[in-house]
Amino acid sequence: MNLVALRKSGPSSADPRRILEPPLVASPPRFKAYSTPQLDQIPQVAALPEEQRFAMRVVSHVLPFRVNDYVIDQLIDWTRVPNDPVFQLTFPQRGMLTEDHFDRMADALRRQAPRSELKTIAQRIRADLNPHPAGQKQLNVPRLDGEALPGMQHKYDETVLFFPSQGQTCHSFCTFCFRWAQFIGDKDLKFASAEADHLVDYLAAHPEVTDVLITGGDPMVMKTRNIEAYLDALLDPRLAHIQNIRIGSKSLTFWPYRYVSDRDADDLLRVFERVVAAGKQLAFMAHFNHPRELGTDVVEMAVRRIRNTGAVIRAQAPLLRHINDDAETWNANWRRQLQLGIIPYYMFVERDTGARCYFEVPLARAYEIYRDALRHVTGLGRTVRGPSMSAGPGKVEIQGITEVAGEKVFVLRFIQARESHWVQQPFFAAYDPEATWLDKLRPAFGEEKFFFQAEYEAKYGATNLK
Ligand SMILES: *Cc1c(COP(=O)(O)O)cnc(C)c1O
């Protein structure tokens, strides 16, 4: 562990000059990542039983795997493996594949099948795992002068997503990632853009857009000079209507040194300051599944340094079996976020993709967890909305479970929708204790369709509610 001389954190100060104080970390750790071929080189993994290691190898030939020393040494409690939440969050587990898929790959590895065959098997299995949920590839790609812009998505009026090409990996991969298909080297499954120019031109032509969400992967894997190019492009005078620049990142969990001791950490914070000084909100959209991720000195320091630039940090995460499917964990997570000045934002339902079978939690249970966790935070924490499903038609929140005219129902609403007039309209689904996604729900009161469904089908050619 390299954090030998971390300065004890004093009270947070709004003075941005604080970020210059050296040295924050005596010997800055070097980033070292491990992926499938290096699995057995991780000493803590080498100490696990052979059967477990083999299972991990099998799964990591199908689903993306990448982890680094900080996660291994400071976030995972190896005495609690395999049940440790951060181990579940980053390391492949047997149950992440169906028996059938697992056996197919296990077989091939046991008979030492050639690489090309392993690849074919992996591709077939992946194709069964719904690599692009909620019609992302077909429905959300924006066009400029008739040309599709592949590194962008524009689903909701006010917000454009941008996927910079150098930001399409992460410091470590999440086992439940809904963008996992982007990390397996299949060009066809990837959307990324090298073009800040296209982004600026597109935004200039869309005055209704107020928010740009730079996402990935994780844009914070980029060097500062690359991030800087994109952020500076967004300060173009033609883009006065862009008020909020969001950055979606898991780096506070996986590599907080990015903001503390990496060579270009201070430069990065300077760029954040510049965005804020230009009159935009820099919204740092962080991702914390478990309070453990907010427990080290270095993450505390990283949070403080980001906040000192004037950026605002919000937190969102999916609810996942094996990692955070209880109210106590969420309550502790939100309380810790508030203590660090982070604003709780969204609780998501795990999407229908990848290893979903391993992580999914019924909607009814998700709602109870949200409700119970929320009961014991102050109003400052009740900014968090959820549980929310990012489905084809929009983000659908489970607002409650109740009885209407003698029928037990889910009360639902869109918090975001393809059609803005769907937003905030309450609607009802028949209660179903097993349902895990919108497409499994039926309208309440014997109705044929949900209120938005005919329009969704007609306008977007949709045939389901995934
Ligand atoms: C969630 C999401 C957004 C942002 O929605 P907010 O409710 O404004 O945070 C934008 N685009 C897509 C495709 C999304 O899934």
| Ligand 1 atom with minimal separation from the 390 CA | 15
Q: Which of 349, 374, 402 lies at the terminal end of a domain, its last residue?
A: 349
For residue 137, the model assigns a pLDDT of: 61
Whether residue 437 lies inside any domain: the answer is no
Over range 159-178, report the average pLDDT: 92
Q: Are residues 87 and 193 in the same domain?
A: no
Omega prior to 291 cis, within 30 of 0: no
For helices 224-233 and 265-277, the axis angle rounded to 10 degrees is 10
Whether residue 368 lies inside any domain: the answer is no
Q: Are residues 110 and 165 in the same domain?
A: no
- Separation of 334 CA from ligand 1 center, angstroms? 21
| Ligand 1 atom with minimal separation from the 211 CA | 8
Do 235 and 177 form a contact (C-beta atoms < 8 A)?
no
In total, the chain counts a number of residues equal to: 466
> Is the pLDDT score of 378 beyond 90?
yes
Give the mutation target among 138, 139, 156, 247 for probing the ligand 1 site: most ligand atoms within 8 A of CB. 156
For residue 4, the model assigns a pLDDT of: 36
- Separation of 108 CA from ligand 1 center, angstroms? 40
Q: Are residues 118 and 163 in the same domain?
A: no
- Cβ contacts of residue 115 below 8 Å, gap of 6+? none
Q: What is the pLDDT of residues 175-234, one digit of tens each?
A: 998 777 777 765 544 455 557 888 999 999 999 999 999 998 899 999 999 999 999 999
Ramachandran angles phi, psi of 98, nearest 5°: -65, 160
Q: What is the pLDDT of residues 123-138, one digit of tens each?
A: 999 999 888 776 656 6
Residue nearest to atom 10 of ligand 1 (CA): 159
Q: Would you give the DSSP letter of residue 377? A: S
For residue 216, the model assigns a pLDDT of: 87
Whether residue 28 lies inside any domain: the answer is no
pLDDT level of residue 8 (50, 70, 90 thresholds): very low
Q: Are residues 310 and 249 in the same domain?
A: yes
- Separation of 168 CA from ligand 1 center, angstroms? 19
Whether residue 387 lies inside any domain: the answer is no
pLDDT level of residue 11 (50, 70, 90 thresholds): very low
Over range 452-461, report the average pLDDT: 96
Q: Are residues 228 and 318 in the same domain?
A: yes
Residue nearest to atom 15 of ligand 1 (CA): 390
Cα 267 from Cα 242, distance rounded (Å): 23
Q: Which of 318, 349, 380 lies at the terminal end of a domain, its last residue?
A: 349
pLDDT level of residue 3 (50, 70, 90 thresholds): very low
For residue 370, the model assigns a pLDDT of: 98
Q: What is the pLDDT of residues 83-120, one digit of tens each?
A: 999 999 999 999 999 999 999 999 999 999 999 999 99
> Is the pLDDT score of 458 beyond 60?
yes
What is the 3-class SS of 305-316, one letter each residue? Answer: HHHHCCCEEEEE
- Ligand 1 contacts CB of residue 155 (under 6 A): yes
- Cβ contacts of residue 80 below 8 Å, gap of 6+? 87
Q: Are residues 110 and 173 in the same domain?
A: no
Domain that holds residue 98: 33-127
Give the mutation target among 245, 353, 385, 416 for probing the ligand 1 site: most ligand atoms within 8 A of CB. 416
pLDDT level of residue 12 (50, 70, 90 thresholds): very low
- Separation of 415 CA from ligand 1 center, angstroms? 9
Q: Are residues 79 and 162 in the same domain?
A: no
Side chain identity at 273, as an amino acid letter?
E
Mean pLDDT of the chain: 91
Q: What is the pLDDT of residues 64-86, one digit of tens each?
A: 999 999 999 999 999 999 999 99
Q: What is the pLDDT of residues 292-348, one digit of tens each?
A: 999 999 999 999 999 999 999 999 999 999 999 999 999 999 999 999 999 999 999
Q: Are residues 264 and 331 in the same domain?
A: yes
Over range 409-432, report the average pLDDT: 97
Q: Are residues 173 and 315 in the same domain?
A: yes
* Count of domains for the chain: 2
Q: Are residues 237 and 343 in the same domain?
A: yes
Cα 286 from Cα 340, distance rounded (Å): 13
Q: In the chain, pLDDT over 90 holds for what percent of residues?
A: 80
Whether residue 1 lies inside any domain: the answer is no
- Ligand 1 contacts CB of residue 253 (under 6 A): no
| Burial of residue 162 (number of CB atoms within 10 Å: 0-12, 13-18, 19+) | buried
- Ligand 1 contacts CB of residue 390 (under 6 A): yes
Q: Are residues 147 and 293 in the same domain?
A: yes
Whether residue 26 lies inside any domain: the answer is no
**DSSP reduced 3-state for 72:** helix
Q: Which region among 127-141, 257-271, 366-380 has the lowest average model confidence (pLDDT)?
A: 127-141
Q: Which of 127, 160, 188 lies at the terminal end of a domain, its last residue?
A: 127
Cα 383 from Cα 2, distance rounded (Å): 36
Residue nearest to atom 8 of ligand 1 (CA): 159
CATH number at residue 305: 3.20.20.70
> Each residue of 201-232: b (16+ CB within 10 Å) or e?
bbbbebeebebbbbbbbbbbbbebebbbebbe
Residue nearest to atom 12 of ligand 1 (CA): 155
Q: Are residues 64 and 176 in the same domain?
A: no
